[in-house]
Amino acid sequence: MTTENVHPIDSDIALQKLSDANIPGFIVDVDPDEAEWLGAFVEDALTEQDAMEGGVDLFDGESDDINLNQLIAWGLV
Q: Are residues 29 and 59 in the same domain?
A: no
Q: Are residues 39 and 60 in the same domain?
A: no
* Number of folded domains that form the chain: 2
Q: Are residues 18 and 34 in the same domain?
A: yes
pLDDT at 64: 57
Q: Which of 35, 37, 26 is nearest to 3 (CA)?
A: 37
Answer with the residue of higher pLDDT: 57 or 2: 57
Average pLDDT (20-27) is 92
- Is the pLDDT at 15 greater than 90, yes or no? yes
Q: Are residues 8 and 19 in the same domain?
A: yes
Q: Are residues 34 and 10 in the same domain?
A: yes
Model confidence over 27-51: pLDDT tens digits? 999 998 998 888 887 777 788 888 7
Domain that holds residue 70: 45-77
What proportion of the chain, given as a percentage, has pLDDT over 70?
73
Q: Are residues 36 and 50 in the same domain?
A: no
User: In Å, how far are 27, 28, 39, 44 from 34, measured between CA atoms?
Assistant: 15, 12, 9, 20
pLDDT at 1: 46
Q: Are residues 51 and 39 in the same domain?
A: no
